[in-house]
Amino acid sequence: MTTKHERYYVPAQSYWPIVGAVGLFFIAIGLANLIHVFQPGYDTSLTKSILLLGVGVSVIIFMVSGWFNHVIKENMAGLYSAQMDRSFRQGMIWFIFSEVMFFAAFFGALFYIRMFALPWLGGEGSKPLTLDLLWPNFVAEWPLLNNPDPKYASPNEVIPWHGIPLLNTTLLLTSGATITWAHWALKVGKRLQLNLAMFCTIALGLTFLGFQIYEYSHAYMDLGLTLDSGIYGSTFFMLTGFHGLHVTLGSIMLIVILVRCLRGSFTAENHFAFEATAWYWHFVDVVWLGLFIFVYIL
């Protein structure tokens, strides 16, 4: 008796991971240089830093679009099977697991600082000697506008929640609604609505990024709120910056998906790439909601 096995496609060796690593390397070097441009004692060129960063971002965009292109072509050529579909789902779940752990670490740092480290420095609980011996004049408050060590310049102000942060929250919430509209349109086979809703989602995401860039320049130029202006600045830029990177990646993914929607690649029965990307966009939106509440409001 013979058993018929399902065909399993094994792709050829891929060069995209190493291309991505090179892109990340340039981004890391570019960002590290950019941070030091305005620091006294460092001879770092702004133009070179931006150039390095630009090379890194370009390589990443090239990698993401090229890699997606390969996968899409393999899919369209009918090389994939049910087993491959399960592999994609496994890949998605591990990717999301790593993302959840990533943001949990940064949110955890914020909560630890606010709930433990700062109150202890302020002498709370069993730590009165900590206050007396380290910085006796320190007042624990949040946002921290008076760093305990005067060596580190404190920010003059922080960004109020009701300006750009509220606007950006509205933009991302609306984009969550438009991607849901697109999702529904795909399920019921309304292609025009699908394309229109996808376009709106991308436009909202890019507008969000534009406002975030404006907010950062305002923080650096006018408020003295920088990555090294104490623990508030550090956590603020780490959390919102990494979220911004995720919005950038999500926008690139959405643009690829829009192109595929325009080509009519998805059907109501075959659209895992669409649903995975839509879910990722919802995830990024919920992370922002957490940031809006815990960084800007409470």
Binding site for another protein (CB under 8 A): 89, 92-93, 96, 142-143, 145, 157-162, 169-170, 173, 176-177, 180, 183-184, 187, 268-272, 275-276, 278-279, 282-283, 285-286, 289-290, 293, 296-298
Contacts with 154 (C-beta within 8 Å, 6 or more apart), sequence order: 144, 145, 146, 147, 224, 229, 230
Residue 11: C-alpha distances to residues 27, 71, 218, 223 (Å): 29, 9, 48, 52
Cβ atoms of 262 and 199 within 8 Å: the answer is: no
Nearer to another protein, 169 or 240 (CB): 169
Nearer to another protein, 112 or 184 (CB): 184
Is 267 in a helix, a strand, or coil?
coil
Nearer to another protein, 88 or 120 (CB): 88
Nearer to another protein, 120 or 283 (CB): 283
Find the shortest distance in angstroms from Cβ 35 to another protein.
24
Nearer to another protein, 108 or 160 (CB): 160
Find the shortest distance in angstroms from Cβ 53 to another protein.
29
Residue 210 zone, left/alpha/beta (φ > 0; ψ -120 to 50; rest): alpha
b vs e for 219-247, b when ≥16 Cβ sit within 10 Å of the residue's Cβ?
Answer: bbeebebbbebbbbbbbbbebbeebbebb
Any idea what the Cα angle at residue 143 is, between residues 208 and 248, rounded to 5°? 20
Find the shortest distance in angstroms from Cβ 80 to another protein.
13
Find the shortest distance in angstroms from Cβ 286 to another protein.
5
Find the shortest distance in angstroms from Cβ 114 to another protein.
10
Nearer to another protein, 93 or 262 (CB): 93
Both tokens of 65, joined, read: 């679009």
Find the shortest distance in angstroms from Cβ 228 to another protein.
20
Q: Where are the alpha helices (DSSP H) in 189-271?
A: 191-218, 231-263
- Amino acid 164 reads I
